[in-house]
A and B are shown apart, each in its own frame.
Chain A
Amino acid sequence: AQKVTQAQTEISVVEKEDVTLDCVYETRDTTYYLFWYKQPPSGELVFLIRRNSFDEQNEISGRYSWNFQKSTSSFNFTITASQVVDSAVYFCALSHIGGAEYGNKLVFGAGTILRVKS
């Protein structure tokens, strides 16, 4: 069975602080994808990143960076110099890699609410 745990229910920071959102996953698959999505108050889930289980290189995109560690089954997300517009619910998700005939459902964590205060 696949499972994603986001232990931080809610985080509050002051603008310009750095913040790290934790994600721990469980899967028996040897190949899988990991994702982060952002859900602003409007409700639409916005795709941020997808990582393949073969690729443990950390990634940086502007103020966002992701740390993937297979040894600890973690895929953490850091926002540097946070801004008020970063306030949202952030979801970590997992899917297996397989044939099209089997589908590829996303398994989501419970989400972390990030509040950035000015």
Chain B
Amino acid sequence: DAGVTQSPTHLIKTRGQQVTLRCSPKSGHDTVSWYQQALGQGPQFIFQYYEEEERQRGNFPDRFSGHQFPNYSSELNVNALLLGDSALYLCASSLSVQETQYFGPGTRLLVL
């Protein structure tokens, strides 16, 4: 049974560019959440998707947007990249909104 998968594993971008990160949830999971983890800090919640709708959003600017597809996979888009967007981006999935979140390996984004 495959766990949560994310792609790409690493990414290097320059300021002002746009990036798309992808996440496939565990089999049977219908809820996907995204977190940003800066170096040496705990993960910070970006948003959560359920039934293809954004259900909850953290304190992130509109440059951060997402999408959930009918097969429950999800994308995180970040526009107009800033140096401060450099971080590990973690995707988590759960059986439903209230169930335990299981995390993928993350995508390490470096903005130069």
Chain A residues at the B interface, C-beta cutoff of 8 Å: 4, 35, 37, 42-47, 50, 91, 93, 97-98, 100-111
With A43-B88, A44-B103, A45-B103 as contacts: A100 and B45 at CB distance below 8 Å: no
With A100-B55, A103-B50, A104-B97 as contacts: A43 and B105 at CB distance below 8 Å: yes
Q: How far is the CB of A34 from chain B (nearest CB, A)?
A: 12
Q: Once the chains bind, are B55 and A110 in contact (CB under 8 Å)?
A: no
**A-B contact list, 19 entries, CB within 8 Å:** A35-B100, A44-B103, A44-B105, A45-B90, A91-B43, A98-B98, A100-B96, A101-B55, A102-B56, A104-B97, A105-B48, A105-B58, A106-B33, A106-B45, A106-B92, A106-B101, A107-B45, A108-B42, A111-B42
With A44-B103, A47-B102 as contacts: A104 and B56 at CB distance below 8 Å: yes
Q: Once the chains bind, are A42 and B105 in contact (CB under 8 Å)?
A: yes
Q: Once the chains bind, are A110 and B56 in contact (CB under 8 Å)?
A: no
Measured CA separation A109–B42 after assembly (Å): 6
Chain B residues at the A interface, C-beta cutoff of 8 Å: 33, 35, 41-45, 48, 50, 55-56, 58, 88, 90, 92, 96-98, 100-106, 108
Greatest chain A CB density within 10 A among B42, B50, B88, B98 is at B42
Give how many A-B residue pairs fall within 8 Å (CB-CB): 64
Q: Once the chains bind, are A43 and B106 in contact (CB under 8 Å)?
A: yes
Q: How far is the CB of B33 from chain A (nearest CB, A)?
A: 7
Which residues of B have CB within 8 Å of A46?
Answer: 103
Which residues of A have CB within 8 Å of B101?
Answer: 47, 106
Which residues of B have CB within 8 Å of A98?
Answer: 98
Please tell me which one of the listed residues B58, B98, B106 contacts residue A104 in the complex, with CB atoms under 8 A apart.
B98
Measured CA separation A111–B35 after assembly (Å): 15
Which residues of A have CB within 8 Å of B92?
Answer: 45, 106
Nearest CB in chain A to that of B101: its residue: A106
Which residues of A have CB within 8 Å of B43?
Answer: 45, 91, 106, 108
Q: A102-B55, A102-B56 are in contact. List 17 more A-B contacts (CB 8 A).
A: A4-B42, A43-B88, A43-B108, A44-B106, A45-B90, A45-B103, A47-B100, A47-B102, A91-B42, A93-B42, A100-B98, A103-B55, A105-B33, A105-B45, A106-B101, A111-B41, A111-B42
